[in-house]
Amino acid sequence: MEPIPASFPTAFLDRYKRLFEPAFYERIVAGISVERHIWFRLNPLVPGWENAFAELESEGLDLKRHDEWSDAACLPADQKSALVASEPVRSGRVYIQGLASQLPVRMLGPSESDRILDLTAAPGSKTLQLAALAPEGDVAAVEIVRKRKFKLQDNLTQHGADHVKVFLQDGSKVWRYRPEHFDAILLDAPCSSEGRFRFDDEDSYRFWSRAKTKEMVRKQRRLMFSAVHALRPGGSLVYSTCSLAPEENESVVHHTLQQFGDCLEVEPIDLDWPERIPAFSSLGSTEFDQRVEQSCRLLPSDRMEGFFVCKLRKTASSNPPVKSQPDSKHTSRSRTDSGRGRSRRR
């Protein structure tokens, strides 16, 4: 295990030592210390993708296929340069994407005929996955930062996803233009990126602070509000972050369930991975809606970054209001008391 550098924020370690049981805390520290495998997947949007893994193996790369996903594989970290330089990657037939990063789209599982939205899309890894599932479908991607929007477009074009419609837009306002329009929505939310911290990469944790977590929560709540109102009844929404903070994960889901009442249900995620641990059922004096426990929380490891994923289904119209305050103490008019739940305190 790598020694903890003097520059690493001790407040981060103290916080998670309090929040997690000792065995989980030790696994977090180990996950920040260890060198991670390089994961990648086939990109069926570029011709010739079927032979790409065999070509990488013929070049002497030590591929290990994923046990469940036939289109995913990994390499030891010391072979990353060779992978990046390989023809299958340069041609776009193979796309480098972390194991955790591949999970949200696989959990959403939209169909070809769905109207699909990636609400915070740049740099486009997950948008490309969505486009591959619907190569001739109706896929929209939203990005609020102009520079990132153009990088997103370039990434999509380079990897055969020209059919995706890209919009320079604030994702928290999309519901105003497309209320209850989409069949499937991915919200891989902006976050504090705690799950990606590495002791040997000071840039990964340089700007961490509790204030940043609070700022992210405000953004996440507004984006979730927009996502729910933009989702049609019967549609699916996946919310994900690469943060360890329960405020950015279980608490955001709890807030959304309280806000929308009977309009939403949480769908269980069937994922038996060694990195998975139980979701938080409470934080401080707040006990979360019981349905939050069906979310998927993953610790960092040598395979993947720390991650959180929750899948929701919209069971009834949320009646998008003309004016609303997603961060106010008052909820939207779709809220009902019967949608609340109580959960066990951890």
On whether the CB atoms of residues 141 and 171 are closer than 8 A, the answer is no
Which residue among the candidates 74, 191, 242, 263 is catalytic per the annotation? 242
Interatomic CA distance for residues 296 and 277, integer angstroms: 8
* Token pair in block for residue 49: 């993708």
β-pairing, 282-283 vs 264-267, is unpaired
206 Cβ contact partners less than 8 Å away, ≥ 6 residues apart: 7
Query: For residue 179, which of 310, 322, 331 has the smallest C-alpha distance?
Result: 322
Kind and range of the H or E run holding 15: helix 10-19
In the residue annotation, 191 being an active-site residue is answered as no
Interatomic CA distance for residues 13 and 281, integer angstroms: 21
On whether the CB atoms of residues 191 and 241 are closer than 8 A, the answer is yes
Amino acid at 271: L
DSSP 50: G
Interatomic CA distance for residues 302 and 331, integer angstroms: 41
Positions annotated as catalytic residues are 242
